[in-house]
Structures are given as structure tokens and as C-alpha cells.
Homo-oligomer: A and B are copies of this chain.
Amino acid sequence: MNRITILLLGVATLSGAAVFTTTVSHRAVAQEAAPVFVTTIPPGYRDWRVVSVAHEAGELNDIRAVLGNDIAIKAYRESKLPFPEGAIVGRIAWGYVASEENNKSFGREQSFVAGPPTDAYLQFMVKDSKKYAATGGWGYSSFDKDGKPTDEAAMKKCFPCHQAVKDRDFVFTRYAP
């Protein structure tokens, strides 16, 4: 190699090292600073389209609608995985309440409807692969009926549980036809 080549290689190596160092330190800072849990309610969520519905019995004792913003609904309908950046999947949970009015009309005890908001009224998963890299690319959030975020200790349970459906990009709910 001539002196010019050696000089250029030296410069390239130095640049590479500098880039590497910058990337590593940037990542370290991002992981330290990144909020893994989301503490704001996405505006307009009550206008989102339906992904599906469910009833959780037991202690939760709720009936729920799972909704998606436009990005999430599009991905669901196209069976696109992983979900694109900006996708938000939300769920609203209401108390699971027997409807005396409906039962009277049906002539039997069979009807359960949405009652008042539950303690874990609203939950959202927000897709941002960089910001929430530590939790599978999703930021998790949960709010009570007054919009107060659930405490961070409880929120640490979200991601470990959602790992059960890693092959569906950590999203439990399937799209209902």
C-alpha cells in the first residue's frame, strides 16, 4: 500500500470508531432516558374503529372493546406484522353488568352490558420501535376513569406477559371479522 492508501484507511478506521462510539453512547442515553410507559391518553381514541370485543370474568369482571387507530386497523386488516410505527391498539373496559331491562324483553336472564368505567378503564400499546426498544417496540399505558396513569410498578408486568404472543408482535387481540 502506498502512503495515501494507508492514510485514508487510518482516517476511515478513526471515523468508524467515532461513529461506533456515538451510536453506543446514544443508545445508552436513549435507554436511560426513554419512557417505557406512556402517560398520556391518545386523543380521539373513542372514535377509533373496533378490533374486537371481550369479556374478562374473575377479578377484572369487565366487558371491553379493543380499538385501533388508523395505522393499527390497516395493519390488522392486511394481516401485516410487525405493526408499523405509530400503530396504537387501545382497549376500554367497562363494568360487566346484568341488564334487567334487556332480560325483561328477552324473557330470561341472559343479557350483560357495559356499566361504568373500571379501575383500569383505558389501556394502550403505542408502537415506536426506537423509543420503546426495551419493551418489544411497544410503549404500554393504563389509566383509571379519571385519566390517572397506573403506577409504574404495575406497568412493569405488561411486557413480560405480552411476550407470550411475541409471534403476533406482542398483541393478544385478533381482529374480529
List A residues at the B interface (Cβ < 8 Å).
46-50, 52-60, 63-65, 67, 92, 94, 96, 99, 101-102, 104-106, 108-114, 116-117, 161, 164-165, 172-174, 176-177
Contacts and interface: CB of A to CB of B under 8 A. Distances in A.
Number of copies: 2
B49 A105 contact: no
Nearest to A102: B172
A99 B53 CA distance: 12
A96 B48 CA distance: 23
A50 to B, nearest CB: 5
A49 B73 CA distance: 13
A49 B52 contact: no
Given A49-B47, A176-B114, A101 B165 contact: yes
B56 A164 contact: no
Contacts of A48: 49
Contacts of A55: 55, 63, 96, 111-112
